[in-house]
Structure 1
Amino acid sequence: MLRNNNQKVISRMAERSLKSNRRRTAILLLAIVLSVFMLFSVFTVGITYYKMFQLQNVRMSGAKFDAILYGLTDEQREMCETDPDITKTGICAVAGAIQATEYDDTVSVGLMWADDTFWKDMKAPARKWMKGNYPKAEREILVTEQALEACGTPDLTVGDTLTAQYIDGTGQEKTSEFQISGIWDGYGDQEVFYVSEAFYRQCGYQLSDAASGRYHIDFQQKFMTAKEQEAFIESLDLGKQQRLFYTVGTGESIPIFLGLCGIALVTCFCAYLLIYNILYLSISGNVRYYGLLQTIGMTGRQIYGLLRRQMALLGSVGILAGLALGSGVSFFLIPSIVQFLGVRQEGIGKIQVTFHPAVFLLTFLLAAVTLWIGSRKPARMAVAISPIEALGYRPSYGRKKSSRTAKGKLLWRMALEQLKKDKKKSMVITLSLAAGLSVFLCLITLIQSQGPRTYVSTYMDVDMTIENDTMKKEDHDQWRDILTDSFLGEIRDDPQVKEVHPVLVSEIMIPWEPEVADVWMREMYATWMYEPYEENVEEYKEHPENFGTFLVGIDETDFAQMQKGLGKEIDREDFLSGKTCVLYRDNLDFTAEDFAGKSITCAEYGKGENIRSFEIAGLTDESYYIGPMLGMPPAVIVSQKAVEEWNVSPYVSKVSIRYQEAYDEAAEQDMIALMEDSPDAKDFSYASKIHEAENVKDAQGNMMEVGIGVAAILALIGILNYVNTVLGNVQSRQTELAVLESIGMTDRQR
């Protein structure tokens, strides 16, 4: 057969073929539009979601950084400042803590100094507003409204003075008058006063102190593997007291990014299945047409060119329409959808979808490649058809099998037989729907994992924890038992309260002995102290009362929760009966095996003759059990029964509360009112799961709303994808359906 060069004729045939088969053309065009729409929406809104995730991490951390180093040497600072992979470094160091004001004697507000890089660059994304200036003079402070309220002075403003008692780096208590140079509001720790560099230089702390120096590092590389993180830590040659921690964003950036890439790949797969299936159905329905074209002199290459031109025409129109539709939905419909669903929070602001020109190019390229790959096999199938085969062509459904009339509903059996006739077609339709649903399910899981409740870290998932702040004072004579039985009884009597779990504490001594106490104190001094243990070991032996700690008593419910984090099973009955105890590890380099079979001896504070020993059953890292303050000897956690039987004048230091319904605001208000009505109202502090969840929502901004918008789009696309595929399948079976109608099948049965 001679080859005819009829390119113009082929172009006209491609246009006429599309016009003459408008229904099939419309189905194919819709498939392309949906594919482009899927890709553009996933890329645009996915990038928006990822940026919102990064913004959330900045707000939760209180500044923009990737890692924080506790304690800083001059060599480490020089190394980081000359490292080309580090864009900026900033310092925010502890300078002391406010302990009391003339209006409240149980204040817990930190004093921090921030250098220019940290405050002006790293802290800027986490600030909402600021009035005044950062402190320059030695007695100037920068405050927040929350910190002023904690001091009992909520009405102070810029220019006012505040007299406060504070403790510096040497442990000395001092009283000074501070002038407010500025007020700010934003994200991160709010109960902090920022001080000047001049104040920090005389506060007794140094940047090399792990208890003070906070060196914030922002890397140029935003995706760091665990191996790269470990390599950087090793390069710093950290001292025993130093610690380096990476932010959540740095640790989770790669999984989140790979997750979004996976969603994009599955979306491309959905688009491929959609285009391939529609083209396959279209060509299989026109086998005779393509076969007979060869009888008039058209070569296989020209038939391939005909199909390629059809795809080019459909692709150009479909891609442009898909980009336009995706732009409209991403930038206009998503905000409307989430507002209609009622999930937009006050104060978050208008939802802003991130736009990047590269998204258009990437979507165009992926759509074009998907269209080309999806059309190759159907086009080869059309080229392979000979004129003789085309004349007698009937769809091939594999090997025919004889069958007898079976029992059961006829329509269901016919539907099942149709699925079995062309297993490949059925598989493509099923895969198309399954892929779309998989993307939807993955995204919903991702959204839920980033929900505010996931970030709420209140211990035991309780709704509120109330603490006795008088026990945070250095002077033990000022301790008062304000969480009395009557106060706890009022909490229990509230019908909206389900559980109440008080924690008993009593100050104790750990007498020196070589097996446990000496081993513990040596590691404690090596890890946290700046003087050698040998200088104080004799004092510890002779005066253990100078090294006090706490005996902490917990109930059965608290024990069950603590057990989950121990990493080993300990005998419940032995613990509850008072035979065994658990020690708070305090980040020391110990394991439970180091103290296996050993006992710790405890003595009532100031009364060395009142002694009791407990067998050490394990170590815990849960700071909820450290008591009001952390001593150098270990905090000893036992059952409440053990504390009560050993008469050592216990206090209730804190109480955790669980409501009948989680996040019950009415119950929350009852608890707050109970504290406010108490004569000791200023001596209470509390942590609320509701407040923490609100802070997380505020930090997340529009992230959850954007995620819901993406999920809604994918759900719609999945449905349209399946409907479009089924329509194409029905269109290819018009002859078969007509035969069924001729033998009496009704429209409803079809």
Structure 2
Amino acid sequence: MLKIDNRKALHRLADKSFRANRGRNLIAILAIILTTILFTSVFSIGGNLIASFQYSTMLQSGGSAHGTFKDLTQEQFERLKQAAPAGAILDRNIICAYEVENPEFLKRHLELWYQQPDAYERRFCQLTGGRAPQAADEIAMDERSLELLGITPEEGQTITLQLKMGYDQPVIERQFTLVGWFGYSDIMNTGFGIVSEAYLTEHADELAEASEQTGSQVGIIQCDVTFSNGINISGKLRAMAEKAGLAEEVEWNENWAYVGAGITDWTSIGAVAGLLLLIMLTGYLIIYNIFQISVMQDIRYYGLLKTIGTTAKQIRQILRRQALVLCGFGIPVGLVLGFLLGTAFTPLILQMLNTVDEVKLALNPAVFLGAAAFSVITVLLSMRKPARLAAKVSPVEAVRYTEGNGKAAKKAKRSTGGGKLWRMALSNVGRNKRRAVLVVLSMSLSLVLMNSVFTLTGSFDMDKYLARFIKTDFVVANARYWGIDSFRALDGEDAVSDTLIANVQAQEGFVQGGAIWCDIYSWTEEYQWPEDTIWDEAGNPCRNDGKNRPQAVDEGKNPLTVIYGADDFILNNLQVMEGERDPETILQKLSTGEYILFAGQVNDEGKLEPNQRHKAGDVVTLYDADGARYTFTILSVINPAYYCETAQASFSEFVYYTTADVYAGMCNTANKMNYAFEVEPESVDAMEKYLSFYTTQIGPLMDYRSRDGYIQEYSGIRFLFVAVGGSLSLVIGLIGVLNFINSILTGIVTRRREFAMLEAIGMTRRQLQTMVMLEGSCYALFTILCSLAMGVGVSLLCVKPLVDGLFFTSYRFVIWPLLAAVPVLVVLGLLVPRLALHFGAGQPVVERMRQAE
């Protein structure tokens, strides 16, 4: 068989056919643009979020190294250097103080480190001025810490630091000379001071003694490792340790900032994959429908091509070329608009999440390549089936084709109602069931997504959100209470200022308030652990919460006990889970000294965990610091608010609450943890301004939290879900509406001959308009029914589990967004068919029948 190069002829046929259908091509291009916008915006937002979160997480983890070997001796460090793979960089870092006690660093604490000068950049301590310290008394510090000390970044400035080498060690005042400084990040609320190698030598004995304390990291090497790439970080660290013969002696961990270093969250992976599939499905539905209708409209044209010898393969090539040309017009526009949309949304998302210090926006080629590839794949998949249909149709079938004529003839049925317009409309919709399903499904997807977004945001529960953080208008406490460390019951060292409390009570608009005290101590007699207690490998008891977390114990394996004393104002607001619930009865019985409240373990769904240490009615014996015995009956099991009614530490299951008077008889009254209070509504702003002034100018060691501040955070989270979800719904909704309009328009164009014949046998123009409007109404009705069914299913199966997993939501199914869409669908169903039929109505019936042929 003679092979002829006919590619140019095929290209000309494809191009001329393309140019002959400008209106239909415009719809297809718009669909491709919207689909590409979806892909690009998702990839762009995802890429920017990953880059920003990765940079932010590096700041939190302390550096950009791939991993860290922890708590090494010098000899172990040398062995790891010998075992390191080619290209790996090892940084030797040593923490030089347990704590820097300067009061200026209470709200933003300072860490004192030795770091190699060539490692400054990898630890985000790259100098912006001065030089690296060399002498034993020289130091480099971040500019924010210098600002807190009131020191200008200039070489030669004297800095006095109050250092502690251990938890219970005395404070050492040490003077340094500032020789260098660097920028800072507030994301971790931490400052850094860097000393020299000479400092390690001069204070070697001090550091060695500190390193011998239990659990101390002072004076011990932390080795950061940066490999030539970030692939299989955990495996490389293990290989280094095994090669050095230290696999059983040292600990290591990969830097959790590197995305993919150890991904095990298959739920998140599944959610991302599901989102991509949803987008591809939505784009596929409309583009497939466009190509299918296009083929149906031009089916006679393809039949004529086959009569002159065009093969099925060549027809598929013609359609594929047209699809790629459409991609060439639509994808670049979609890429640009999608990138702009993603770039606009990324800072908004990060701002609302309030977890990233710096937004990383990058013109990443992978975003454009990935979005373009997904769009092209979607288009090519969408046109495959219509192309096969065009390729296999015979010339005779093509010339005589009318929509639905390929099916077997139905048995004739005698009826007096068959000619009714609504029956004809319903029959026409069901003539091509596949197309009807695609139109209904594509519109239903957007409505279901929209309804899911409103269900999610409608389930946001502000009271539930606030209950976890604050129950009153304001809470004041020592700044350490909201710092990195939890409240420490150290004989009043972290106590809230009585002066501040008195000043608050004297402010205009003050209504009422109450304080909470806290004391922590060990049992003075041996505690008998239950037989079902789980013990860890170190021989310590685990908490009875099903998660095998360690329980804090003393050297004798006795549990640490936490006892809170609270004023009546606080006790009246505690959440009771089990036992006595009446506030007056609780106060009355607690005041007798015979009853006490037990803080139970509550899961994320707000229910008590099984196997609590105590239940209501149990009798417990507690001890004070002097060993005196106190016997109590558990009156109620409560769920205290973690961020305002506890020390923000969860090391013990043995936690109890009582009145301030009972507490004063057995515990340290110097440990006043915080003070919560209410004010008149009109005085909230004035009190906010006063507390801001007091905690910055008068008592910088104090700090506060307000209900309005948490409400703003809540509103930001809610707005984030509405903005992102609503925008996604809008884009998919536009695709659904476009698909509906395109289906109606091209369907009517395809049936021009049929409509002309109906008019020829006596159907009036008004009856024809009524029929096609009823057809559009049928599509609208089926879409509403499908959306309701799918919406309920998606809400219960997908949205509800998501809502149940968020602590600040209470599931509320909403249906009003779907109901609100009903009028819009009805208008579209009536208006679009009528407008479509209007075009070409001025031509005579004979002329329209001749054009259809």
TM-score w.r.t. the length of structure 2 is 0.62
Shift of 1:733: 1.6
Report the CA distance shift for 1:485/1:246 in structure 2 as closer, same or farther (over 3 A): same
Answering whether residue 656 of structure 2 is matched by residue 637 of structure 1, we say: yes
Shift of 1:276: 1.6
Per-residue Cα deviation, 1:134-156 (whole angstroms, up to 9, x for no partner):
54443344444554566xx3245
Report the CA distance shift for 1:552/1:38 in structure 2 as closer, same or farther (over 3 A): closer
- Paired residue type of 1:194: G
Q: Partners in 1 of 2:734 and 2:119 — Cα distance?
A: 50
- Paired residue type of 1:270: T
Q: Partners in 2 of 1:632 and 1:14 — Cα distance?
A: 73
Using the aligned pairs only, state the percent identity: 19
Q: Partners in 2 of 1:349 and 1:484 — Cα distance?
A: 32
Please list, as runs of the form range in 1=range in 2, the aligned pairs for 1:43-442 lying within 5 A after superposition.
Answer: 43-64=43-64, 71-72=71-72, 82=83, 91=93, 93=95, 95-100=97-102, 109-116=109-116, 120-124=120-124, 130-144=128-142, 146-147=144-145, 153-158=149-154, 159-169=156-166, 171-183=169-181, 184-196=183-195, 198=199, 201=204, 202-203=206-207, 204-206=209-211, 210-212=215-217, 247=256, 259-294=271-306, 296-298=307-309, 302-312=311-321, 314-330=322-338, 353-396=361-404, 419-434=429-444
Which of the numbers 602, 609, 634 marks the counterpart of 2:623?
A: 602
Q: Which has the higher contact order (CA 8 A, sep 6+)?
A: 1
Q: Partners in 1 of 2:456 and 2:53 — Cα distance?
A: 11
Structure 2's unaligned 5+ residue stretches are 481-486, 542-551, 602-609, 771-829, 835-853
Report the CA distance shift for 1:382/1:332 in structure 2 as closer, same or farther (over 3 A): closer
Shift of 1:79: 8.4
- Paired residue type of 1:727: N
Number of the residue aligned with 2:848? none
SS in 2 for 1:138: coil
SS in 1 for 2:64: coil
Q: Partners in 1 of 2:456 and 2:240 — Cα distance?
A: 29
Aligned pair count reads 696
Shift of 1:562: 9.2
Report the CA distance shift for 1:283/1:665 in structure 2 as closer, same or farther (over 3 A): farther
Per-residue Cα deviation, 1:511-541 (whole angstroms, up to 9, x for no partner):
3435379xx9x9999889xxxx99987xx99
Per-residue Cα deviation, 1:487-512 (whole angstroms, up to 9, x for no partner):
453579458xxx96632235767434
Number of the residue aligned with 1:588? none
Q: Partners in 1 of 2:365 and 2:371 — Cα distance?
A: 10
Q: Partners in 1 of 2:95 and 2:467 — Cα distance?
A: 25
SS in 2 for 1:264: helix
Shift of 1:27: 3.2
Number of the residue aligned with 1:653? 673
Q: Partners in 1 of 2:4 and 2:324 — Cα distance?
A: 27
Please list, as runs of the form range in 1=range in 2, the aligned pairs for 1:660-671 lying within 5 A after superposition.
Answer: 668-671=688-691
State whether residues 34 and 721 of structure 1, in contact with CA within 8 Å, keep that contact through their aligned partners in structure 2.
no
TM-score w.r.t. the length of structure 1 is 0.69
Report the CA distance shift for 1:161/1:341 in structure 2 as closer, same or farther (over 3 A): closer
Shift of 1:572: 5.7
State whether residues 476 and 705 of structure 2, in contact with CA within 8 Å, keep that contact through their aligned partners in structure 1.
yes
- Paired residue type of 1:370: T
Report the CA distance shift for 1:225/1:66 in structure 2 as closer, same or farther (over 3 A): closer
Structure 1's unaligned 5+ residue stretches are 542-546, 585-590
Q: Partners in 1 of 2:129 and 2:152 — Cα distance?
A: 13
State whether residues 115 and 194 of structure 2, in contact with CA within 8 Å, keep that contact through their aligned partners in structure 1.
no
Which of the numbers 694, 699, 702 marks the counterpart of 1:684?
A: 702
Shift of 1:719: 0.5
Q: Partners in 2 of 1:659 and 1:228 — Cα distance?
A: 58
Shift of 1:298: 2.6
Q: Partners in 2 of 1:691 and 1:76 — Cα distance?
A: 49
State whether residues 68 and 217 of structure 1, in contact with CA within 8 Å, keep that contact through their aligned partners in structure 2.
yes
Q: Partners in 2 of 1:708 and 1:180 — Cα distance?
A: 48
Number of the residue aligned with 2:516? 503
Q: Partners in 2 of 1:178 and 1:456 — Cα distance?
A: 45
RMSD: 6.5
Shift of 1:288: 3.2
State whether residues 100 and 165 of structure 1, in contact with CA within 8 Å, keep that contact through their aligned partners in structure 2.
yes
Per-residue Cα deviation, 1:460-503 (whole angstroms, up to 9, x for no partner):
598865324799696769978616763453579458xxx96632
State whether residues 287 and 379 of structure 2, in contact with CA within 8 Å, keep that contact through their aligned partners in structure 1.
yes
State whether residues 129 and 186 of structure 1, in contact with CA within 8 Å, keep that contact through their aligned partners in structure 2.
no
- Paired residue type of 1:726: I
State whether residues 492 and 500 of structure 1, in contact with CA within 8 Å, keep that contact through their aligned partners in structure 2.
no
Please list, as runs of the form range in 1=range in 2, the aligned pairs for 1:424-573 lying within 5 A after superposition.
Answer: 424-434=434-444, 459=469, 465-468=475-478, 482=498, 486-487=502-503, 489-490=505-506, 493-494=509-510, 502-506=515-519, 510-515=523-528, 551-554=563-566, 571=579
Q: Partners in 1 of 2:240 and 2:634 — Cα distance?
A: 41
Report the CA distance shift for 1:384/1:157 in structure 2 as closer, same or farther (over 3 A): closer
Which of the numbers 765, 771, 779 marks the counterpart of 1:742?
A: 765
- Paired residue type of 1:722: V
Number of the residue aligned with 2:811? none
Shift of 1:277: 0.9
State whether residues 98 and 111 of structure 1, in contact with CA within 8 Å, keep that contact through their aligned partners in structure 2.
yes
- Paired residue type of 1:177: Q
SS in 2 for 1:511: coil
Shift of 1:258: 5.5
Number of the residue aligned with 2:734? 719
Shift of 1:281: 0.7
Shift of 1:425: 0.9
- Paired residue type of 1:205: A
Q: Partners in 2 of 1:175 and 1:649 — Cα distance?
A: 29
Q: Partners in 2 of 1:271 and 1:355 — Cα distance?
A: 25
Which of the numbers 747, 751, 771 marks the counterpart of 1:732?
A: 747
- Paired residue type of 2:505: G
State whether residues 505 and 550 of structure 1, in contact with CA within 8 Å, keep that contact through their aligned partners in structure 2.
yes
Shift of 1:123: 2.5
State whether residues 440 and 714 of structure 1, in contact with CA within 8 Å, keep that contact through their aligned partners in structure 2.
yes
